[in-house]
Amino acid sequence: MTVEQTSTPLVGAELERSCTQFLYREAELLDEADYTGWADTCLSEELEYLIPIRTTRERSSGISEFSREAFHMKDTYASMRLRVDRLLTEHAWAEDPPSRTRRVVTNVRVRELGPGEVEVKSYLTLHRSQWDTTDYDLLVAERRDILRSDAGGWRVRRREVLLNHTILGTANLGVFL
């Protein structure tokens, strides 16, 4: 069996480019700390945002490493808006001073689900530093998104972030993945 026979069908270059450009723009908004712009232009009001906890299991167990009951984040559009709005106040202590972040999005794979809806898998590497130290956080994950098209472009309807880490080395998860 060849690689082409085992992978999902390729979408057209224009659709793939459109989705990839959306992910790049989203990363830019977050790295610039434009959280309101991110929520207003990138998130669907039907948002489901999940970061399940990863556990280490033996390969032979046949059980997913990712919990379906415990999450680092499990948000809807309403709860995500509360997070965004809180970041704009003096009560966001974990982000004061704000983190300096750089997101690298790679390995974008797009599969069409239906008219105006796509599944996009991508890899994310997030470098995060704060304060005046040489310390930094490096988070690596696969993201599985469902993007839906509306009049303003693509929006994230569902995001599942599958972290490579079982134990997070970061003091808090005050940033968005």
Chain segment 25-63, per-residue pLDDT in tens: 999 999 999 999 999 999 999 999 999 999 877 777 777
Query: pLDDT tens across 89-104, in order?
Result: 777 666 666 678 899 9
- 105 and 126 Cβ atoms separated by less than 8 Å: no
Single pTM value for the model? 0.86
In the sheet where 117-129 sits, what is the strand order? 66-76, 43-54, 153-163, 137-150, 117-129, 100-114
What value does the mean pLDDT take over residues 97-117?
91
Output the pLDDT for position 95: 60
Q: Say whether the peptide bond before residue 52 is cis (omega within 30 degrees of 0).
A: no
